[in-house]
A = this chain, B = another copy of it.
Amino acid sequence: MSAFQTHIPLPRPQPFRSRSVCRRCRAPVRSVAQNAAVSSVKPSQKPASAQSQSITPRHEDYSQWYLDVITAADLSESAPVKGCLVIKPHGYAIWELLRDKLDSAIKASGAKNAYFPLLIPQSFLSKEAEHVEGFAKECAVVTHHRLRADPDAPPGTLQPDPDAQLEENLVVRPTSETIIWYMFGRWIQSYRDLPLMLNQWANVVRWEMRTRPFLRTAEFLWQEGHTAHADAEEAHDKAREMIQVYRDIAENWLALPVVVGRKSPSERFAGAEETYTIEAMMQNGWALQAGTSHFLGQNFAKAFDVQYKAPDGTKQYVWATSWGMTTRMIGALIMTHSDDVGLVLPPNVAPIQIVLVLIFKNEKEQELVTSFAKGAADRLREVGIRIEVDDRPNMRPGAKYYEWERKGVPLRMEIGPRDAGKGAVFAAKRLGGKKWSIPVDDAFEDNAQEVLTEIHTQMLENARQRLMSRTSRPSSYEELKQSLGQGGESQGFFVVPWKCDDENEKKVKDETKATLRCYPMDEQDDVKGRTCIYSGEPATHMAIFARAY
Contact = CB atoms under 8 A, between A and B. Distances in A.
A158 B122 contact: yes
Nearest to A129: B156
A84 B147 contact: no
A192 B38 contact: yes
A427 B45 CA distance: 67
B113 A219 contact: no
A487 B259 CA distance: 66
B186 A160 contact: no
A395 to B, nearest CB: 12
Contact of A143 (B46, B144, B186): B144
B147 A219 contact: no
Interface string A285-320: 000000000000000000000000100000000000
Interface stretch (A73-81, A276-284, A415-423): A73-81
B138 A114 contact: no
A193 B41 CA distance: 11
Nearest to A160: B141
B85 A157 contact: no
A121 B80 CA distance: 8
Residue from A85, A142, A169 with most neighbouring chain B CB atoms (10 Å): A142
B84 A219 contact: no
Contacts of A189: 38, 40-42, 46
A256 B117 CA distance: 28
A146 interface: yes
Contacts of A119: 81, 84, 140, 172, 205, 218-219
A147 B139 contact: yes
Nearest to A157: B126
Q: Is the interface of A mostly helix, strand, loop or mixed?
A: mixed
A380 interface: no
Contacts of A137: 146-148
Interface string A187-217: 0011011000010001101010000000000
Contacts of A192: 38, 40
A345 to B, nearest CB: 17
A170 B140 contact: yes
Q: Which of A46, A115, A221 has the most CB of B within 10 A?
A: A115
A188 to B, nearest CB: 9
Contacts of A123: 157-158
Given A38-B190, A183-B77, A145 B156 contact: no
Contacts of A126: 156-158
Interface in A117-164: 117-126, 132, 136-148, 156-160
Interface stretch (A88-96, A500-508, A531-539): A88-96
Given A117-B219, A158-B132, A219-B119, A186 B146 contact: no
Contacts of A205: 118-119
Nearest to A90: B112
A149 to B, nearest CB: 8
Q: Which of A47, A123, A141 has the most CB of B within 10 A?
A: A141
A114 B89 contact: yes
A113 B142 contact: no
A67 interface: no
Nearest to A119: B81
A172 B141 CA distance: 11
A41 B170 CA distance: 31
A62 interface: no
Nearest to A40: B190
A126 B150 CA distance: 12
A179 interface: yes
Contacts of A169: 147, 158-160
Given A77-B186, A114-B86, A136 B143 contact: no
Given A86-B183, A126-B157, A112 B93 contact: yes
Nearest to A351: B112
B79 A117 contact: yes
A122 B142 contact: no
B139 A140 contact: no
A182 interface: yes
B138 A125 contact: no
Contacts of A438: none
Contacts of A86: 114-117, 183
A46 B186 CA distance: 6
A118 B144 CA distance: 16
26 contacts: A38-B189, A46-B189, A81-B117, A81-B119, A86-B183, A87-B114, A92-B114, A93-B112, A93-B113, A95-B115, A96-B113, A118-B118, A118-B172, A118-B203, A118-B205, A123-B157, A132-B158, A136-B148, A136-B158, A137-B147, A139-B147, A140-B144, A142-B142, A142-B143, A143-B144, A203-B203
Q: Which 4 A-B pairs have the closest CB atoms?
A: A89-B112, A40-B190, A84-B117, A87-B115
